[in-house]
Amino acid sequence: MSRAAALAGFRVTFSTMLRKPEVIGYPERKTPVFPRFRGRHRLWTHENGLEKCVGCSLCVAACPADCIRVVAEENTPERRVSAGERFAHIYEINMLRCIFCGYCELACPFDAITLEAEYEMSERERHAEIYTKEMLLAPHPKPVPVRAEEPDAE
């Protein structure tokens, strides 16, 4: 290593050592995530209250980690859950296996599942990391801010 390269490295080190540390105050103030960030999954409903998921299992087929489980059931006139013929009676995602690739979101023809900006998903028990349909339909209790889109530098 040359002397000039070593001095350049020391200059970078010393200049960062003298800077005041940036403290954001987590968890009261969360770091905004980028708009394309893929975090916690969320199932959606229509405005009239019916679920968007029709139990087609395309998300299951698209998932490379095999972490989604869907059991479909038929809608009846007495029990109407979704707009289609069927609905997802059981919809579970094993978050310990999920790789947050977003393929389930891309495969869904009804936009029933999306990956949101929330990243706080730690639990103390393994069984709590299997998200049920009720957990996925509910909004996350701790929302995370999303950064504003930056214009492309051209």
Q: Work out whether strand 130-131 and strand 113-115 pair parallel, antiparallel, or are unpaired.
A: unpaired
Q: How many of the other CB atoms lie within 10 Å of CB of 49?
A: 8
Tell me the helices (H) and strands (E) count for the chain, helix number first: 4, 5
Q: State which fold the 33-137 domain adopts.
A: Alpha-Beta Plaits (3.30.70)
Is the pLDDT assigned to residue 154 strictly greater than 60? no
pLDDT range class, residue 2, cuts 50, 70, 90 = confident
Residue spans of the domains in the chain: they are 33-137
Structure tokens at 31: 């770091």
Q: What span, in angstroms and rounded, lies between the C-alpha atoms of 37 and 119? A: 9
Measured CA to CA, the distance from residue 3 to residue 9 in angstroms comes to 10
> For the chain, how big is the Rg over CA atoms in Å?
22
Whole-number Cα distances in Å, 8 to 1, 4, 41? 11, 6, 45
Q: What is the pTM of this model?
A: 0.77
**Digit-coded pLDDT (tens) for 100-110:** 999 999 999 99
- Min mean pLDDT across 76-90, 96-110, 117-131, 134-148 is at 134-148
